[in-house]
Amino acid sequence: MKGTRHVRIDPDQYRLPAGKVVKLGKWPSRTKPVYSSKEDYEALLREHVDRLSALQQLLYASDSRALLIILQGMDGAGKDGAIRHVMSGVNPLGCEVHSFKQPSAEELQHDFLWRIHQRAPARGRIGIFNRSHYEEVLIVRVHPEFLVNEGFDEKAAGDKKFWKNRYGAIVDFERHLDRNGTSVIKFFLHLSREEQRQRFLARIERPEKNWKFNLADVQERKFWKRYMKAYEECLGATTTSNSPWFIVPADDKDNARLIVSQIILETLEGMDLHSPRPNSSQLRELETIGDELRRKG
C-alpha cells in the first residue's frame, strides 16, 4: 500500500529488566513514531489486529495456556483506547476485560488479591485488567487512609516492610499464575503531566468527550509527584523475567497502541501454540461421521 511501511518494534526497548532502579524522568513519554503517517499507522494496526485475532483463536482452540494483560497508568494515559483498538478483532468469547474500582465491603474483608484471582483468565482465554491489584501499591500508597478500610492502621503506610511484603505477595501471585500456564505481561503507559493536562482540556472543550471528564481525575493531579514515586518503586520491585513491566511512551496514543499490540503478539507467538490433533480413535470416528453425512447428502 502506497505511503505505508513495515516497522520492527523491539519489545526489549521498553522492557524493564528485573532488579533495575526506576527513575521515570529518564524514560521518555514520547519517542519517534514507529509509523510514518496516519495511513501507515492504520495499516500497521490492521495487520496487528488480524494477527492477534488468528493467535487468539489458536489460543482458544489449544486450551492449554492463558494470557493476562495488565494496563496501568495515570488518568488519561489511554488505557481504554488501547483496549478498544488493539483488541478490536478478538472474539469476545475468548477475551474478558475487568476494571477494578473501589473494593466492595465484601472484598475489603479479604486479602487484597482475593478479588483479583477470581478474575484471572481461564485456559484458552485472554484476560485484560484495566487497573488491577497494583492499585493496592499505588493509589493506596498515595492515600494511606484507605488502609483503615482494609483492617490496617494508617501508620502502616510509613512501614517499608509493609510495602515490601505487598510487592512480594504480588510477585508470588504472578509467579503462581505463570507456573500454572498463565503468562502475565504488564504495561505502564507513561504519560507526561502536560499531555494529561491537554487531554483533560479536550474532555472539557469537546462536547463528544464531555462524558469522559471526571473532577476526581483532576484532583488527583495534585499528587502527581507522589504517584510517580509510587510507580517507580512499584515497577522496580515487581518486574520479573516471567512477568515483566513494559514502560510504553504514551503521549502519542497511536504509537503506544502499536507498541502494545506488537508486544502482545510476540508474547502469544512465544507460547508455541498448536491446534489440537485428534487421536486415531477420534479420526476413525470423524471418518465414520463424514461417510454418513456424505451418504445422506
- The percent of residues in the chain predicted with pLDDT above 70, rounded, is 97
Angle at 118 between CA 113 and CA 123, to 5 degrees: 125
pLDDT tens profile 26-73? 999 999 999 999 999 999 999 999 999 999 999 999 999 999 999 999
Residue 2 has pLDDT above 50, yes or no: no
What number is the average pLDDT over the span 242-250? 97
- CA–CA distances in Å: residue 195 to residues 29, 215, 267: 9, 17, 29
Three-class DSSP category at 193: helix
Partners of 66 in beta bridges: 182
Name every residue whose Cβ is closer than 8 Å to that of residue 202 and which is 6 or more positions away in sequence: 209
- CA–CA distances in Å: residue 173 to residues 128, 166, 169, 170, 180: 16, 11, 6, 5, 11
Kindly calculate the radius of gyration of the chain based on its CA atoms and give it in whole angstroms: 22
What number is the average pLDDT over the span 183-190? 98
User: What order do you get walking across the sheet with 245-249 strand by strand?
Assistant: 15-16, 245-249, 182-190, 66-73, 126-130, 95-99
What number is the average pLDDT over the span 130-152? 94
Name every residue whose Cβ is closer than 8 Å to that of residue 80 and which is 6 or more positions away in sequence: 130
pTM: 0.90
Residue 134 has pLDDT above 60, yes or no: yes
Partners of 99 in beta bridges: 130
What number is the average pLDDT over the span 172-199? 97
- Reading the block at residue 192, the C-alpha cell is 507526561
pLDDT tens profile 87-125? 988 888 889 999 998 899 999 999 999 999 999 999 999
Compute the distance between CA of residue 58 and CA of residue 67 in angstroms, rounded to an integer: 12
Mean pLDDT of the chain: 91
Residue 8 has pLDDT above 80, yes or no: no
Q: Residue 229's pLDDT is what? A: 97
Q: Which domains does the chain have, with CATH numbers?
A: 11-296 (3.40.50.300)
Q: Compute the half-sphere exposure of residue 265: CA atoms within 13 Å on the CB side of its CA.
A: 24
Angle at 260 between CA 237 and CA 232, to 5 degrees: 25
Residue 5 has pLDDT above 60, yes or no: no
- CA–CA distances in Å: residue 177 to residues 13, 66, 70, 180, 297: 25, 9, 13, 5, 48
Residue 232 has pLDDT above 50, yes or no: yes
Compute the distance between CA of residue 211 and CA of residue 286 in angstroms, rounded to an integer: 54
Residue 283 has pLDDT above 80, yes or no: no
Q: Residue 93's pLDDT is what? A: 83
Name every residue whose Cβ is closer than 8 Å to that of residue 149 and which is 6 or more positions away in sequence: 103, 108
Q: Residue 1's pLDDT is what? A: 42
